[in-house]
Structure 1
């Protein structure tokens, strides 16, 4: 896949704390881990991000249970987690991005293997992140407190052009601020603005013919803010290419 960015190099995402989202109180959930200290699988799964290392999300990610995933609408949101009310707890907290879905296992009870079954709020973390909030990974599962935090990114919003000429899919990622995208509009150099529809995760679809046109996007996040990236995709674009805006939230 070709990657074109309007900067001197493709910057990676850093997930760091930048103050609490106003009005966000602590809620309670549980956390487990997958893989080993090498990180295990790093695919964006149900959010459509693909290789999380390549896309810049790394291991600071989590798969969310049904109660939190919200049919993919939570993809890209950032959270602070800390272990609480357990002898396994270590001090401090972590910041993660929602990048995948933790499917329920209805063959198991919610307190014995069905960790992601409704209505439980649950985060499945990479092992390197899990051991930051517990004294020993043998804890297995721990209660946590969590709250939304702003997403801090390096570089602008990124757009990967996918699909085919009749049904163009655009993966929208590296979104700062609230992180979770609620609406995307698209405009070709020869067309008017039109609303895209969420296909799955953070893949947004349009049936507007855009090949051979420069393409602009308006991205709106769950806090109601919108960023417009004018002509971020050049006229010569091809499927499989990724383009980076000069703007972010």
Structure 2
């Protein structure tokens, strides 16, 4: 496989048509080597328009988002170099690497120990020094470093928990894919005041559920 041709095709045929037109995002996708963040067993899928499993057997919820979804979420967050970012679901570390190139600092939480180790090692090998991976349940963990300028959930959630919204600065943005199959929506939630939030739906998609972000319990009588 011609790696550079496959990368070019991914950007031109998958990502641009999804309204990802920010030159800084497109150039970043050319620089950060996605294939280096994909497990060897699935490397042939590095540039394919689908979620890539991160563990043998393709464990549910343990996968990289589609390239076009990653790119669109990165663009919509519109990060600045001075900003501090929290990622939920480090996975392979690829999204953390993209975020780190756009922001000042990234803290990425990963609930699965093996993936937390993989992500940290991938970031180290890629020379990304301003992103830190911690093994933790992002649905429950509130970090002392907060509040954050931006939060990204790298997978779907049934609903955005208050524990994440509380970690946003006023003016901060949260990007997440919310809902249940077969219909989920990527949203940007902006904290507009101490107890005020504005939600904008940006596109429809479906993504694997992040561990710990299952459906809310429904009581029946």
For this structure pair, what is the TM-score category when the shorter chain's length is used for normalisation?
Answer: under 0.3
More helix by share: 2
| Greater share of strand | 1
Higher relative contact order (CA 8 A, sep 6+): 1
Say which one has the larger Rg: 1
Q: Normalising by structure 1, what TM-score? A: 0.25
